[in-house]
């Protein structure tokens, strides 16, 4: 039990660190970490537990970004509000799918995350962007679709939200990373609530994972200045890790 608790803490540190540095992508590793490192055996329980843990990590990182002034609240709340309904619908759909098939679909989603991170956009945009009707019209449908994917796979969806905010609102990547955590937090909370209601959350590893996630977020804030000019390289290295993890899930599922 102690080794499983330590594994949950270490896994949480890694996810919190990546969420803090990249604003997304880290949560995609929460499910395989809970399955193959912490030792949860049911894919549905792993997804539900990951949703709880990732939500808490995202909130902790959001507070740090908000304090730094990098969150564009009107854009972030518009995007997130439209995605909450999608997250609830996606979570219900995910629970209805066979665990084995869901895990294979999750591996495919991981490969999609890896591709998106290899192609992550360069920094651009307006640091003083303000929401208007045209931006809102672009944010709402994008948020809805992202929420659906987030709920179905039990992930934060930051890997989709960051480029989505940059494209729809024209904000910089720094503001997109901070603002994405609003949606990651709300999407994760919606998914976590759905899985918890269905009894598909293992609370002990979730709490240890959360503790590690908070620590990882604090580390990320303290070292983020060292990665200001290396985020693209960091994203590409992490994309390679995600690809290997996805292939491992496929191997374990068919072996």
Selected residue with higher pLDDT from 23 and 180: 180
180 contacts 161 by C-beta, under 8 angstroms: yes
Q: Given this model, what pLDDT does residue 90 score?
A: 87
Least confident of 159-168, 177-186, 232-241: 232-241
* Confidence grade of residue 182 (pLDDT, cut at 50, 70, 90): very high
* Cα–Cα distance for residue pair 135/123, rounded to 1 Å: 19
Share of the chain above pLDDT 70, in %: 85
Give a three-class secondary structure readout of 183-222.
HHHHHHHHHHHHHHHCCCCCHHHHHHHHHHHHHHHHHHHH
Q: Given this model, what pLDDT does residue 167 score?
A: 78
Selected residue with higher pLDDT from 120 and 138: 138
Q: What is the mean pLDDT of residues 4-20?
A: 86
pTM above 0.75, yes or no: yes
* Confidence grade of residue 205 (pLDDT, cut at 50, 70, 90): very high
Kindly report, residue by residue over 77-91, the tens digit of the pLDDT.
999 998 898 888 888
* Cα–Cα distance for residue pair 179/77, rounded to 1 Å: 9
The DSSP annotation for 133-172 comes to HHHHHHHHHHHHHHHHHHHHHT---HHHHHHHHHHHH---
Angle between helices 158-169 and 133-153 (to 10 degrees): 170
Q: What is the mean pLDDT of the chain?
A: 83
Q: Given this model, what pLDDT does residue 187 score?
A: 87
* Confidence grade of residue 202 (pLDDT, cut at 50, 70, 90): very high
Q: Given this model, what pLDDT does residue 121 score?
A: 55
Selected residue with higher pLDDT from 165 and 205: 205
b or e along 186-218 (b: 16 or more beta carbons within 10 Å of the residue's beta carbon)? bbbbbbbbbbbeeebbbeebbbbbbbbbbbbbb
Selected residue with higher pLDDT from 177 and 209: 209
- The residue length of the chain stands at 255
Nearest to 238 by CA among 11, 10, 22, 9: 22
Tokens linked to 236: 């590409």
Q: Given this model, what pLDDT does residue 6 score?
A: 95
**pLDDT at 122 exceeding the cut of 60:** no
Phi first, then psi: what are they for 129, rounded to 5°?
A: -65, 140
Selected residue with higher pLDDT from 153 and 45: 45
* Cα–Cα distance for residue pair 27/57, rounded to 1 Å: 9
Q: Given this model, what pLDDT does residue 36 score?
A: 92
169 contacts 131 by C-beta, under 8 angstroms: yes
Selected residue with higher pLDDT from 28 and 36: 36
| Distances from the Cα of 57 to the Cα of 16, 152, 178, 183, 216, angstroms | 6, 19, 13, 13, 8
* Cα–Cα distance for residue pair 186/135, rounded to 1 Å: 20
Q: Given this model, what pLDDT does residue 120 score?
A: 58
Q: What is the mean pLDDT of residues 46-50?
A: 92
DSSP code, position 108:
H
Q: Given this model, what pLDDT does residue 22 score?
A: 66
Kindly report, residue by residue over 219-249, the tens digit of the pLDDT.
877 776 666 566 667 667 667 777 877 888 7
Q: Which of 21-25, 163-167, 192-196 has the highest mean pLDDT?
A: 192-196
């Amino acid at each position: 039990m102690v080794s499983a608790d330590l594994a949950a803490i270490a896994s949480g540190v890694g996810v919190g660190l990546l969420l803090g540095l990249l604003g997304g992508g880290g949560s995609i590793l929460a499910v395989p970490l809970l399955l193959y490192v912490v030792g949860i055996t049911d894919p549905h329980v792993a997804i539900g537990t990951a949703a709880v843990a990732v939500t808490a990590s995202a909130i902790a990182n959001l507070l740090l970004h908000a304090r730094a002034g990098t969150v564009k609240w009107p854009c972030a709340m518009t995007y997130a509000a439209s995605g909450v309904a999608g997250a609830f619908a996606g979570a219900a759909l995910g629970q209805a799918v066979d665990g084995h098939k869901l895990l294979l679909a999750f591996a495919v989603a991981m490969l999609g995350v890896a591709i998106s991170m290899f192609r992550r956009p360069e920094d651009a945009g307006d640091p003083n962007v303000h929401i208007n009707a045209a931006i809102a019209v672009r944010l709402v449908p994008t948020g809805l679709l992202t929420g659906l994917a987030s709920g179905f796979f039990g992930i934060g969806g930051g890997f989709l939200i960051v480029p989505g905010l940059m494209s729809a609102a024209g904000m910089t990547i720094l503001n997109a990373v901070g603002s994405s955590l609003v949606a990651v937090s709300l999407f994760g909370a919606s998914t976590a609530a759905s899985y918890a209601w269905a009894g598909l959350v293992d609370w002990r590893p979730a709490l240890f994972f959360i503790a590690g996630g908070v620590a990882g977020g604090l580390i990320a804030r303290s070292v983020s200045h060292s990665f200001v000019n290396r985020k693209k390289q960091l994203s590409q290295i992490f994309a390679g890790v995600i690809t290997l993890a996805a292939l491992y899930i496929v191997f374990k599922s068919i072996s």
